[in-house]
Amino acid sequence: MIKRGALWAFLFILSACAEDQVSGVSEYVFQSTVCVTNSQPIPFVNDTEEEMVIEGVAVSAGTDPYGNFSLQDVVVADTSLSAEGASFSNIRIPAGEDYQFQVSYTPKTSGGHSAVIDVVYRAPLTGVRQLHLTGMADGTGPVGCIVADEGAPVDISGEAAFTITKLVAATSKISQPLSSEDGVRPLDPVSIEMTLDATAGTAMMEQIKEGSFILPRPRENVEILGGNILQDTMLSTSGDARGTYDDSKGSLKIDNLVVTLNGDFNTTITTTLTTDEVSLKTLSTPLVAEAIASFGSRHYDSVGKRIFGKRIDPLTGAVVLVGTTTIQSSTLDPGANSMFDDMSGTTMAILIEGTIVKKGSDSTP
């Protein structure tokens, strides 16, 4: 990502409750553009006569739901320590030494953002210093940049129906995506029972039974896959899948969904699907650009190498789930084209489009 902008306001207020305690607030304001990173150091000094121990540093839970801010590393004197899971623990600063936290601001949406970083001191001072971060971003990001879906409150709790109307899978092996839009016949919408608990913040998606989800084989004029995939692909899941749900913004995540694809290539994958974003940078092998571009400009950020879902629309129930996976093993069906042999190690990105509505509503299938 491009680094730009500068830290344009700094205010530090520190009050000592007692000689061996520390508390206070530091306020910082960042400025950037959607999809563009502004990374800045936040400096401090150990002005005690003893080694200082910081027990932990992390973005306070719930203060930055879209992940606009992140901790990159901490520098003590001339030594840089990288963050582990976007947090630090057991940092030791010699007496009199400088230390600084490197904080990045990569806005997902335009407008204002905020977050709080908690710095927990253990010795010789104890207490918590809070870093209050404020970001201002405009929406004129680079070409290919996607402004994330902020979502809106959704009135769904209890039994619901998830109707799948589109599926696209891009891989690191083939430049043409496997898409329901390329089938010899239209995809028959697949309705899956769900339970969304707004109070507990949980989601449960019932098992997709074998034979209930049929992805038609591609038409013969479809590049690469047409004529090479000879059978329809049957999708099923190993059982009920669970995850999280936030009705205040319509976000949904289904964890560790085990999917079996039977057809020309028989394989089982495990993936997590989300209505938010997924980084492609962690994939062991990169996806073919032409294949992932099939997700469309609203769901693929070619600049930041991310894919985006779409949170549940409060009026229509429209939703898009995305996820990634790596095929561990696969078996070529007898008579299938050898181009699908040895799919193991192939990375895959998945996009599922559909609607989620309350059971009993007028639009329930």
Please state the length of the chain. Answer: 365
Percentage of the residues of the chain whose pLDDT score is greater than 70 = 90
Determine how many CB atoms are found less than 10 A away from the CB of residue 220.
10
Locate 281 and state its tokens. 């940078």
pLDDT of residue 362: 61
Q: Show the DSSP H helices in 234-296 as ranges.
A: 289-292
3-state secondary structure of 295: helix
Q: What is the mean pLDDT of each run of 10 residues along the chain (365 residues)?
A: 31 39 80 91 92 91 82 88 75 93 89 92 91 90 77 93 97 92 96 97 96 94 89 94 95 96 88 94 91 90 86 95 90 73 86 94 59
pLDDT of residue 64: 85
Provide the whole-model pTM.
0.70
According to DSSP, residue 286 is labeled: P
First to last CA, the chain: 44
pLDDT of residue 10: 30
Q: Bridge-partner residues for 42, per DSSP? A: 101
pLDDT of residue 86: 66
According to DSSP, residue 148 is labeled: -
Determine which helix (DSSP H) or strand (DSSP E) holds 132, and give its type and residue range. Answer: strand 126-138
3-state secondary structure of 303: coil
Q: CA Rg, the chain, in Å? A: 24
According to DSSP, residue 289 is labeled: H
pLDDT tens by residue, 279-306: 898 898 999 999 999 998 889 888 778 8
